[in-house]
Amino acid sequence: MSILETRNVTKRFGGLSAVDNVTLQIPEGSIYAIIGPNGAGKTTLYNCITGFYPADEGDMLFNGKSLMGLSPDRITRLGISRTYQNIRLFPAMTALENILVGAHPQLKSNYVDAILHTPRQRAEEKKALEDAQDLLNFVGLKGKGDLLARGLPYGEQRRLEMARALANKPKIILLDEPTAGMNPNESVTMMRFIESLRDELKITILLIEHDMKVVMGISEFIYVLDFGQLIAKGTPGEIQKNPQVVESYLGRGAADQHKQPSKRI
């Protein structure tokens, strides 16, 4: 059964359809990828799923429940986490605090508990701190919990953002170019890491990625977007052989790989 499903989702900005009639089905426990040239509407689709842009048409289902009309925080609380193409940590908070903010939906204590410092709040806080520490270690940032997020090197910021997304204990995580700006070695490490999320934490993965090596290496199924429309879908093998994709995207994509990551939008 699909954990996440979009049905004919359309999002228009003025006359332009940034996402046009897109239907996806992501089965539980899988690693799926969305590829497409710059401006194809991939991130816009993410923004629709996470509730930041209300979709104009269509429907989105999470575990069979519609996400339409829900606010972003509600959607996150259902168990959908995401990361951002351009890392968006809370720069003036420490690494550990960033993760704890990510764990916000997991904490059940309320305002009154907080202001009165009730035993229940204290116990929960202690547990949350331990969990956050574990996550920090899991992404390889052991001992860096007290550093400000913006003081971390680029690669560590990416991993911290991932840890923050995981703190929500998501059922599915939407990754937006997780290997952007990484060298081939780092990309491979990130690939292994993403696979371990699925294998060890049983989290379904949907990723947007430009690096074809990563996409072909880890995804089980690929959707190809161009000008907001779904132009192809299939296994990596099928996509590589699809003439339309090869023509319109892979050729350009291969060339893109040699460009500076900062040039990608």
Partner 1 sequence: MKDLIKQGLRLGSIFGVVIIFLILFGLTSTLSDILGEFVNLESSTRTGNPGGLIIFFAILSLWAGSKATASDRSNWKPALVSGVSVSLIIALLISGFILLVGFLDSLDVAMRDYLAQLDHLSIQFLLYGRDLTTGVLLTFGIFFFFGILGALLAYWYEAKQAGEVIQKQVLVLKEKVLDSKLAKQYKENPRSKWIGYGLLGLVVFITPQFLGKYWNYAMGTVGIYVLMGLGLNIVVGLAGLLDLGYVAFFAIGAYTAGLLTAPAPLPLQIGFWPVLFFSIVMAAFAGILLGIPVLRMRGDYLAIVTLGFGEIIRVLIRSDMLSPYLGGPQGIRDIAGPSLFGVSFSGKAYLYLIILAILLIILFTNYLQNSKVGRAWMAMREDETVAQAMGINTLYYKLMAFATGAAFAGLGGALFAARNQYTGPADHTLMVSINVLSLLIVGGMGSIPGVIVGAFVLKGLPEILRELDLYRLLVFGGLLVLMMIIRPEGIWPAPRRRMELHEGELDVLPPEENLVGKEG
Q: Which residues bind partner 1 (CB under 8 A)?
A: 50, 52, 71-73, 76-77, 82, 84, 88, 90-94, 96-97, 100-102, 104-105, 107, 109, 111, 113-117, 121-122, 125-126, 128-129, 132, 145-148, 151, 164, 168
162: which DSSP letter?
A: H
Nearest alpha carbon to residue 20 among 186, 231, 257: 231
Measured CA to CA in angstroms, residue 92 lies from 84, 128, 149, 172 at distances of: 18, 20, 7, 28
**Main-chain dihedrals φ then ψ at residue 229, nearest 5 degrees:** -105, 150
**Taking the complex as a whole, how short is the minimal distance between the CB of residue 161 and partner 1, in angstroms?**
10
**Taking the complex as a whole, how short is the minimal distance between the CB of residue 15 and partner 1, in angstroms?**
26
**Taking the complex as a whole, how short is the minimal distance between the CB of residue 171 and partner 1, in angstroms?**
13
**Taking the complex as a whole, how short is the minimal distance between the CB of residue 67 and partner 1, in angstroms?**
14
205/232 with CB nearer partner 1: 205
The token pair at 49 is: 């799923």
Amino acid identity, position 40: A
**Taking the complex as a whole, how short is the minimal distance between the CB of residue 169 and partner 1, in angstroms?**
11
92/254 with CB nearer partner 1: 92
Measured CA to CA in angstroms, residue 244 lies from 39, 42, 231, 237 at distances of: 18, 18, 8, 14
Q: In what order do the strands lie in the sheet with 57-62?
A: 16-27, 2-13, 57-62, 65-66
123/254 with CB nearer partner 1: 123
121/242 with CB nearer partner 1: 121
Phi-psi region of 169 (alpha: psi -120 to 50; beta: other; left: phi over 0): left
143/243 with CB nearer partner 1: 143
Place of tokens 């997304």: 165
**Taking the complex as a whole, how short is the minimal distance between the CB of residue 98 and partner 1, in angstroms?**
8
106: which DSSP letter?
A: G
For residues 151 and 155, give the distance between their C-alpha atoms in angstroms, rounded to a whole number: 12
104/259 with CB nearer partner 1: 104
**Taking the complex as a whole, how short is the minimal distance between the CB of residue 132 and partner 1, in angstroms?**
8
Question: CA torsion, points 26, 89, 128, 109, in degrees to nearest 10?
Answer: -90
201/254 with CB nearer partner 1: 201
